């Protein structure tokens, strides 16, 4: 076995497609030839990396693709024109199936919102640790709301909820999701609540998460994304969100 033949067969060898004798010959060559063995190691590493990125499509997807291709080849017998048209249709069907599968995977992927939730919690913790809750410490919504003018390109909802037991502490600028965001701070008993708002293209969603012992509530609406984070218990935090929503969109 020489280098040239090894190069030719290395993929088949990696796929375990070679017979026993050929495989043993290649193994012998890989033992003796540093260049080929390095090449083989590189190939294995690449395959490993691709294996991580590549998710096998689900069975139903495979079936739909097979069916589309089969339909196309059936049309082929009638005439060249039809067959090319059928193949075109089949190819677009396949592309659509693959795309929609990709979109579904993208949407169902939890990573993005989980990452953002982590960012939100980290920002909340930082604001408490650094004792930097507010750039504009004020319980007056008419002081806090205009403070954001000219600092960010949107106007965050600022509500006075003191009579409901959520005192406005103030507002500050923060940085989340790769952009400046508005942070409003409320207090209930000993618990601080950070309320983040920024424009986003997120769909209408509402979700609750727990991260490192903090309760997080997220919702998106009318082109804005909102995140609430606190060590306050879930039911009171939910109450806060409901109050906020009823005031902001009454």
Contact residues toward Zn ion (CB under 5 A) are 3, 33, 36
- Count Cβ atoms below 10 Å from residue 172 Cβ, excluding itself: 22
Q: How far is CA 122 from CA 61, 125, 126, 175, 235, in A?
A: 40, 5, 6, 11, 22
Q: How far is the CB of 17 from Zn ion (least distance, A)?
A: 19
Q: How far is the CB of 37 from Zn ion (least distance, A)?
A: 8
Nearer to Zn ion, 3 or 45 (CB): 3
The answer to whether 151 and 94 are in contact (CB under 8 A) is: no
Q: How far is the CB of 3 from Zn ion (least distance, A)?
A: 3
Q: How far is the CB of 39 from Zn ion (least distance, A)?
A: 8
- DSSP strands (E only) in 86-159: 136-137
Helix (H, G, I), strand (E, B) or coil at 33: coil
Nearer to Zn ion, 38 or 153 (CB): 38
Nearer to Zn ion, 4 or 15 (CB): 4
Q: How far is the CB of 33 from Zn ion (least distance, A)?
A: 3
The answer to whether 226 and 239 are in contact (CB under 8 A) is: no
Nearer to Zn ion, 27 or 160 (CB): 27
Nearer to Zn ion, 36 or 217 (CB): 36
The residues near 158 (Cβ < 8 Å, ≥ 6 apart) are 141, 144, 145, 168, 171, 184
């Amino acid at each position: 076995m020489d280098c040239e033949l090894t190069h030719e067969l290395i993929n088949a060898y990696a796929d375990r497609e070679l017979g026993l004798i050929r495989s043993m010959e290649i193994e012998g060559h890989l033992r003796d030839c540093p260049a080929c063995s390095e090449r083989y190691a590189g190939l294995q590493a690449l395959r490993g990396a691709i294996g991580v990125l590549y998710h096998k499509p689900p069975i139903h997807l495979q079936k739909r693709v097979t069916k589309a291709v089969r339909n196309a080849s059936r049309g082929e017998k009638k005439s060249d024109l039809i067959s090319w048209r059928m193949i075109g249709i089949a190819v677009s069907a396949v592309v659509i199936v693959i795309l929609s599968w990709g979109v579904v995977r993208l949407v169902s992927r939890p990573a993005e919102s989980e990452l953002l939730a982590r960012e939100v919690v980290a920002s909340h913790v930082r604001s408490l640790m650094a004792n930097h809750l507010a750039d504009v410490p004020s319980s007056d919504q008419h002081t806090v709301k205009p403070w954001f003018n000219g600092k960010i390109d949107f106007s965050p909802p600022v509500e006075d909820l003191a009579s409901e037991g959520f005192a406005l502490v103030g507002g500050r600028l923060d940085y989340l999701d790769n952009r400046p965001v508005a942070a409003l701070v409320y207090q209930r008993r000993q618990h601080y609540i950070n309320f983040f708002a920024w424009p986003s293209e997120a769909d209408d969603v509402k979700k609750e998460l727990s991260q490192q012992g903090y309760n997080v509530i997220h919702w998106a609406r009318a082109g804005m994304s909102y995140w609430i984070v606190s060590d306050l218990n879930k039911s009171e935090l939910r109450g806060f969100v409901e109050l906020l929503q009823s005031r902001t969109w009454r």
